[in-house]
């Protein structure tokens, strides 16, 4: 469990995914990529991706949890999928444009 702050940069320990926290909940969260905990950018990763966490990440996409209080921007793609407290994070949809009628 980690207390996150907006602007924190993290990376996966099992694939090439790199992330930046855009918004974070006030309580501690357990964020994983590829089934393994995220690590600081200065740390060396090791291990393998979990079989049930191989959906991958996409550069420039924002990932959010179901409650909407956690938002993470993917800055480098990888093979692992993101999860928060065991629940898979989903890609945040685009805001609809206002009607021009």
Is the pLDDT at 101 greater than 80? The verdict is no
Distance CA 85, CA 44 (A): 23
- Residue 42 pLDDT: 94
Q: Write down the pLDDT at residue 69.
A: 93
> Other CB atoms closer than 10 Å to residue 82's CB: what's the count?
29
Reported as a single tens digit per residue, the pLDDT across 12-66 is: 999 999 999 999 999 999 999 999 999 999 999 888 999 988 999 999 999 999 9
Q: Share the mean pLDDT of the chain.
A: 92
pLDDT at 45: 86
- Report pLDDT digits (tens) over 69-98: 999 999 999 999 999 999 999 999 888 889
Question: Residue 94 has what pLDDT?
Answer: 86
pLDDT of residue 17: 95
CA distances from 39 to 46, 51, 58, 94 (A): 10, 20, 19, 28
Contact 51, 29 (CB under 8 A): no
pTM of the predicted model, to two decimals? Answer: 0.86
């Amino acid at each position: 469990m980690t207390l996150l702050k907006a602007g924190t940069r993290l990376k996966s320990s099992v694939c090439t995914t790199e992330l930046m926290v855009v918004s974070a909940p006030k309580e501690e969260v357990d964020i994983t990529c590829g089934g393994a905990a995220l690590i600081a950018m200065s740390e060396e990763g090791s291990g393998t991706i979990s079989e049930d966490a191989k959906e991958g990440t996409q550069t420039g996409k924002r990932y959010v949890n179901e409650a909407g209080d956690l938002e993470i921007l993917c800055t480098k793609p990888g093979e692992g999928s993101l999860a928060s407290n065991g629940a898979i994070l989903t890609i945040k949809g685009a805001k609809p444009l206002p009607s021009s009628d």
